[in-house]
């Protein structure tokens, strides 16, 4: 399924034990994964990758990271800033594209990604 501009596209879970987390979600829900090294695994869906697990320390009271897709990362970055969002992680490259993180006025953290130029 192709990405759609400014829609929820991906969800990331912070996990402390990659193997245990993958085992749990595979057994409980039949999820399959694509490993990107020891610290990241993508969740495979019917139309491609729909989310991921990243190694870290989950913060109490903070849920999974919602990731939006953008056809133009720089324009979306500017729109987020103009709307009053706070950039928490400047744009960075990752395998498959670029992304940044921001918080909304209520403090919710989201990320936005785009395909490589």
Residue 62 included in any domain: yes
The CATH number for 38's domain is 3.10.180.10
Overall domain count for the chain: 1
109: containing domain: 8-114
| Percentage of the chain exceeding pLDDT 70 | 98
For 23-73, the pLDDT digits (tens) are: 988 888 789 999 999 999 999 988 889 999 999 887 777 788 999 999 999
| Percentage of the chain exceeding pLDDT 90 | 53
Residue 100 included in any domain: yes
Distances (CA, A) of 24 to 10, 56, 61, 85: 20, 17, 21, 35
**β partners of residue 101:** 89, 111
**What does the alpha-carbon distance between residue 3 and residue 15 come to, in Å, rounded to a whole number?**
26
- Widest pairwise Cα distance in the chain: 44
- The model carries a pTM of 0.71
Residue 75 included in any domain: yes
Residue 30 included in any domain: yes
DSSP string over 9-49: EEEEEEES-HHHHHHHHHHHH--EEEE-SSSEEEEEETTEE
Residue 108 included in any domain: yes
Task: Name the band, by pLDDT with cuts 50, 70 and 90, for residue 1.
Answer: low
Q: What pLDDT is attached to residue 105?
A: 76
């Amino acid at each position: 399924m192709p990405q759609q501009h400014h829609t929820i596209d991906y969800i990331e879970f912070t996990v402390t034990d990659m193997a245990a987390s993958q085992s749990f979600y595979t057994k409980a829900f039949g999820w399959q994964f694509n490993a990107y090294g020891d610290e990241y695994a993508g969740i495979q869906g019917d139309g491609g990758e729909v989310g991921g697990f990243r190694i870290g320390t989950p913060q109490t009271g903070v849920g999974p990271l919602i990731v939006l897709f953008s056809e133009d990362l720089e324009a979306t970055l500017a729109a987020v800033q103009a709307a009053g969002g706070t950039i928490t992680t400047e744009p960075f490259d990752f395998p498959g594209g670029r992304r940044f993180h921001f918080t909304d006025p209520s403090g919710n953290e989201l990320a936005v990604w785009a395909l490589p130029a």
